[in-house]
Structure 1
């Protein structure tokens, strides 16, 4: 991943390159965070992030984000912060493209 000042990113073009669901594509890094693109269709498992808050932003489609006590529906250009430790279950009834803002971590 290049870290070049003033490189621009076309989110729609990058989304077109993602062919598999749940494959993370890192678009850029900023300080100790990265902006990741991911596509989802169907239900993801119940989970929580113990150490960090995450921002989910819908680029295309509709995301249903289930929490244990409520459901939040996000449409295109809407976002939400999921606090650390908050159990959630993302659902894309149709294909949904998301930007996720999260701390950089080793995935391997």
Structure 2
């Protein structure tokens, strides 16, 4: 077996598209995904799972129908399952998302921002 650390900067350098999470690892039934975000996403929810956002670089906001949370580098937030939300960033933000295998980035909403699922880098 080969033991090798996963370099997040190196993985982030392999893609430039926004709103298109890329898988870097799995643990049990969960995936670790890197994503670059900029601008507005779509309102959506994930009916059966929580979703974790960890900001690696930049700043982002997660908007809810009744409020919002702002995240900066080194901060994280767990969006509870079933809660409608949308992410936003004025400038490019790099984040890690942790969620179960098979979760679609736009939930049950079909959108031009719906990313191909299960893309590894």
TM-score by length of 1: 0.90
Alignment of 1:8-87 (within 5 A): 8-87=5-84
TM-superposition CA deviations, 1:27-84 (whole Å, max 9, x none)? 1000110100010100001110011001100011101110111110000010000000
Q: Secondary structure at the match of 1:28?
A: strand
| CA distance 1:55–1:5, shift in 2 (3 Å) | farther
TM-superposition CA deviations, 1:6-28 (whole Å, max 9, x none)? 43111111111121111221010
1-structure distance, mates of 2:18, 2:68: 22
Q: Secondary structure at the match of 1:77?
A: coil
> How far apart are 1:5 and its partner, in Å?
6.8
- How many residues align structurally? 105
Q: Structure 2: where are the runs of 5+ without partners?
A: 104-116
1-structure distance, mates of 2:3, 2:45: 34
Using the TM superposition, name which of 24-33 and 7-16 deviates more. 7-16
Q: Secondary structure at the match of 1:37?
A: strand
2-structure distance, mates of 1:5, 1:36: 22
Question: Partner residue of 1:100?
Answer: 97
Moved beyond 2 Å, runs of 4+: 4-7
RMSD, matched Cα? 1.6
Q: Structure 1: where are the runs of 5+ without partners?
A: none
TM-score by length of 2: 0.81
1-structure distance, mates of 2:2, 2:100: 19
